[in-house]
């Protein structure tokens, strides 16, 4: 497909996206007149490969054509998703979601709105390419990084459901002695509909949280060797940012885990300060695989001032224990040492693969708890103890 056409006296060689605009564009030597003479002179002044800017006008036959409408050729495409959260593993090259917009239909003189320049000689080139400066994704044709790990994108010069759909980067040389540069548009005379389109593609790496910034996602045409600087040429750009959230994770067996601690005689707490330790292992299943475990944060509203990693007793009344709390620990996965958590602070090193594979969806986390005397001077009273903490598992 080429977006250049050549003016001929009764017929035209045209791009897929152009109706017979050559009937009223200048530059046809068989219909020479003042406007055509000026066009030819301008092309000559531009030198080899030069072009003339389409400012609109009337041909000697009386056919009117509109000036190039740059604003109408800047296409903002709206994504199917304003947010995206991975729900499974995605194959490398798999389509995640798209942003699509129908390109306009032009008829009659309005077709000039898609023609930026005319009278272009051999050697002029249109280049349609990614404009955000993103590196190409190795091994995936026409795919560029988005800035969010695990997601790349492809921008189409145009997309057709029935014909070819060239992807950026496209280099389109003018093969004619006097060519017209035309932006892609739909054709009402043939019923063919073209689209501006951007596809978002899985790169095969773990998808992480981030923002796909609309201002850096898209493709744009530029003119090389035309000798003129027309208003902005055809472009396709993402309309708004897409927020990518990390894969969601769930505790296997449900969202509530209960640890039952053994009864402890007051004399043991008085002499040792702590009771026996109980352990708990939780398995967390995530929507997508990763080579690193989710981070974990333990948070609580019932802390004990001056006693790190310890939860206050929520039970009150005559039957509640006094002077004692519940001390929590992470179990470090490599050597099973007890690590005192800092409430509200995320720790990324406490998960281990549940399957033994380095790339997995399932992760084990170990916890320990015991009753603890709050201080040597605290008054101990026998009774019930109850404490609650919230565990939050998150990916970067």
Q: Does residue 237 have a pLDDT over 90?
A: yes
Rounded distance between C-alpha atoms, residue 173 and residue 102, angstroms:
26
By mean pLDDT, which of 57-66, 143-152, 387-396 is the weakest?
57-66
Report CA torsion sign: 60, 64, 70, 76: negative
Q: pLDDT (tens digit, 9 = 90+) per residue, 172-199?
A: 999 888 889 999 999 776 678 999 999 9
Asked if residue 81 belongs to a domain, the reply is yes
Q: Does residue 98 have a pLDDT over 70?
A: yes
pTM of the model: 0.71
Asked if 367 and 350 count as a contact pair (C-beta separation under 8 A), the reply is no
Rounded distance between C-alpha atoms, residue 13 and residue 310, angstroms:
81
pLDDT of residue 40: 40
Asked if 114 and 73 count as a contact pair (C-beta separation under 8 A), the reply is yes
Asked if 46 and 226 count as a contact pair (C-beta separation under 8 A), the reply is yes
Structure tokens at 298: 């333990």
Rounded distance between C-alpha atoms, residue 373 and residue 321, angstroms:
11
Pick the last residue of a domain from 212, 244, 276.
244
Q: Where is 362: in which H helix or E strand?
A: strand 360-373
Q: Does residue 7 have a pLDDT over 70?
A: no
Asked if residue 385 belongs to a domain, the reply is yes
pLDDT of residue 254: 82
Do residue 56 and residue 189 come from a single domain?
Answer: yes
The range of the structural domain enclosing residue 139 comes to: 37-244
In the predicted model, what is the mean pLDDT of the chain? Answer: 86
Q: How many domains are contained in the chain?
A: 2
Q: pLDDT (tens digit, 9 = 90+) per residue, 202-227?
A: 999 989 899 999 999 999 999 999 99
pLDDT of residue 190: 66
Do residue 70 and residue 100 come from a single domain?
Answer: yes
pLDDT of residue 178: 85
User: 201 vs 12, which has greater pLDDT?
Assistant: 201
Taking residue 306's Cβ as centre, other Cβ atoms within 10 Å add up to 8
Do residue 151 and residue 232 come from a single domain?
Answer: yes
Residue found by looking up tokens 């005319």 in the block? 118
Do residue 167 and residue 271 come from a single domain?
Answer: no
- Kindly report the CATH number assigned to the domain that includes residue 239: 2.60.40.3310
Asked if 140 and 201 count as a contact pair (C-beta separation under 8 A), the reply is yes
Q: State the pLDDT confidence band at 123, using cuts at 50, 70 and 90.
A: confident
Do residue 197 and residue 210 come from a single domain?
Answer: yes
Contacts of 34 (CB under 8 A, 6+ apart): none
Asked if residue 21 belongs to a domain, the reply is no
Q: Does residue 97 have a pLDDT over 50?
A: yes
Pick the last residue of a domain from 244, 278, 310.
244
CA 299 to chain centre: 31
Q: State the pLDDT confidence band at 94, using cuts at 50, 70 and 90.
A: very high
- Kindly report the CATH number assigned to the domain that includes residue 319: 2.60.40.1090
Do residue 45 and residue 127 come from a single domain?
Answer: yes
CA distances from 291 to 208, 336, 362 (A): 12, 21, 11
Structure tokens at 186: 């739909």
Asked if residue 377 belongs to a domain, the reply is yes
User: What 3-state class would DSSP assign to 141?
Assistant: coil
Pick the last residue of a domain from 244, 272, 292.
244
Q: State the pLDDT confidence band at 4, using cuts at 50, 70 and 90.
A: low
Do residue 199 and residue 61 come from a single domain?
Answer: yes
For 287-345, give the DSSP string: EEEESSPPEEEEE-S-B-TTSTTEEPP---STTB-BSEEEEEEEE-TTT--EE---TT-
Do residue 264 and residue 286 come from a single domain?
Answer: yes
By mean pLDDT, which of 10-24, 29-43, 318-332 is the weakest?
10-24
pLDDT of residue 44: 46
Report CA torsion sign: 281, 286, 289, 293: negative
Residue 233: is it exposed, middle or buried by C-beta count within 10 angstroms (0-12/13-18/19+)? buried
Question: Which is nearest to 177 in space by CA: 45, 67, 43?
Answer: 43
Q: Does residue 310 have a pLDDT over 70?
A: yes
Do residue 50 and residue 162 come from a single domain?
Answer: yes
Do residue 254 and residue 208 come from a single domain?
Answer: no
102: β partners: 195
Q: Where is 34: in which H helix or E strand?
A: helix 34-46
- What average pLDDT score do residues 344-357 get? 95
Q: State the pLDDT confidence band at 15, using cuts at 50, 70 and 90.
A: very low
Q: Is the peptide bond preceding residue 286 cis, with omega within 30 degrees of 0?
A: no
Asked if residue 12 belongs to a domain, the reply is no
Strands of 121-239, DSSP E: 125-130, 144-145, 151-155, 159-160, 170-173, 179-182, 194-202, 210-212, 218-224, 235-238
Rounded distance between C-alpha atoms, residue 380 and residue 204, angstroms:
58
For 11-28, give the DSSP string: --B--TT--SGGGTSS--
Do residue 348 and residue 273 come from a single domain?
Answer: yes
By mean pLDDT, which of 26-30, 159-163, 289-293, 321-325 is the weakest?
26-30
Question: Which is nearest to 116 in space by CA: 51, 181, 176?
Answer: 181
Do residue 192 and residue 275 come from a single domain?
Answer: no
Asked if residue 1 belongs to a domain, the reply is no
Taking residue 20's Cβ as centre, other Cβ atoms within 10 Å add up to 13
Structure tokens at 367: 């916890």
Rounded distance between C-alpha atoms, residue 127 and residue 121, angstroms:
16
Q: Does residue 127 have a pLDDT over 70?
A: yes
CA distances from 245 to 12, 27, 188, 270, 348 (A): 51, 54, 41, 49, 18
């Amino acid at each position: 497909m080429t977006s250049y056409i050549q003016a001929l006296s009764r017929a035209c060689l045209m791009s897929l996206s152009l109706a017979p605009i050559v009937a009223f564009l200048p530059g046809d030597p068989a219909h020479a007149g003042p406007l055509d003479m000026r066009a030819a002179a301008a092309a000559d002044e531009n030198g080899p490969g030069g072009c003339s800017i389409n400012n609109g006008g009337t041909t000697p036959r009386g056919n009117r054509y509109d000036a190039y409408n740059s604003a109408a050729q800047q296409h903002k495409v709206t994504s199917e998703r304003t947010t995206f959260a991975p729900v499974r593993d995605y194959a490398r090259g798999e389509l995640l979601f798209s942003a699509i917009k129908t390109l306009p239909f032009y008829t009659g003189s309005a077709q000039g709105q898609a023609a930026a320049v005319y009278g272009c000689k051999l050697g002029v080139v249109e280049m349609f390419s990614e404009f955000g400066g993103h590196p190409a994704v190795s091994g995936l044709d026409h795919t560029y990084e988005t800035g969010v790990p695990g997601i790349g994108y492809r921008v189409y010069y145009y997309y057709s459901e029935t014909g070819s759909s060239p992807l950026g980067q496209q280099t389109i040389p003018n093969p004619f002695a006097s060519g017209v540069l035309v932006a892609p548009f739909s054709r009402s005379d043939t019923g063919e509909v073209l689209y501006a389109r951007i596809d978002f593609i899985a790169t095969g790496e773990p998808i992480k949280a981030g923002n796909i910034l609309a201002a850096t996602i898209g493709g744009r045409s530029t003119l090389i060797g035309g000798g003129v600087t027309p208003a902005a040429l055809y472009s396709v750009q993402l309309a708004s940012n897409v927020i990518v959230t990390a894969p969601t994770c769930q505790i296997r067996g449900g969202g509530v885990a209960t640890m039952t601690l053994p009864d402890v005689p007051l004399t043991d707490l008085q002499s040792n300060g702590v009771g026996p330790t109980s352990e708990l292992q939780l398995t967390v299943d995530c929507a997508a695989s990763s080579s690193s475990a989710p981070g974990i944060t333990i948070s609580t509203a019932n802390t004990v001032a001056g006693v790190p990693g310890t939860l206050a007793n929520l039970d009150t009344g005559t039957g509640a224990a006094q002077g004692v709390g519940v001390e929590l620990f992470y179990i470090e996965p490599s050597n099973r040492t007890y690590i005192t958590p800092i409430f509200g602070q995320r720790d990324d090193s406490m998960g281990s693969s549940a399957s033994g594979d380095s790339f997995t969806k399932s992760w084990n986390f170990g916890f320990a708890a015991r009753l603890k005397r709050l201080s040597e001077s605290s008054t101990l009273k026998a009774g019930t103890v109850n404490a609650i903490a919230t565990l939050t598992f998150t990916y970067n």
